[in-house]
Amino acid sequence: MTTTRYDRRMYAVMNDRRAAAFYATKGRRRLLVGAHIVLTGVGVGAWIGTVSAAGLGPVVLVAAVLVPWVLLTGMLNGSTRGLLELRGRMLDERQLVERDRVRALAHRITLWLLVAAAGAAGGYGVVSDAPLRASVFPVLVGVLAAHWMMPLWVAGLRVQDDPADDSDDES
């Protein structure tokens, strides 16, 4: 199995520990995941607004949310050491098993999100007496975004803290 220059570069980027302070603890990773979920929701809502409404407001909001969203995505990928971004040949057996577990759990969560979204869209049509198509597009875009990001969120919440450095205790 050969590794390419791209594989080696991505491995180095995903294992760069310079930003580790931002995701060193479980609490910080939870905060990152929560902030990422909020930014994803705001960005998706604003993007839906650009498609369905006139005006410059939603476009500005999408642009404003994009940079912090990208930074948080990078931090989450760094916290998992590239679990979802690296090619399989760059991961060890433990990481491959963990990636499969993360994807399976994310798939189950997304299934229930789809069930809830279908129920909500149908309920919206009944309660508001509006045609179902009025709610389908925003719901589908929202669920698609959640489906796309769910493995990263699950991986960010499941990653374990790095072991404490014992080298200071020996001196």
pLDDT value of residue 171: 44
C-beta of residue 117 within 8 angstroms of C-beta of residue 142: yes
Q: What is the pTM of this model?
A: 0.85
Mean pLDDT by 10 residues, the chain (171 residues): 88 89 92 97 91 83 95 94 93 95 97 91 78 78 94 94 61 44
**Long-range Cβ pairs for the range 16-21 (8 Å, 24+):** 16/78, 19/74, 19/75, 19/78, 20/78, 20/162
pLDDT value of residue 133: 72
pLDDT value of residue 167: 55
Residues 133, 136: Cα–Cα separation, whole Å: 5
pLDDT value of residue 87: 93
Placement of tokens 């007496």 in the chain: 129
pLDDT value of residue 102: 97
Compute the half-sphere exposure of residue 6: CA atoms within 13 Å on the CB side of its CA: 4
Beta strands in 55-107 (DSSP E): none
1 secondary structure, DSSP code: -
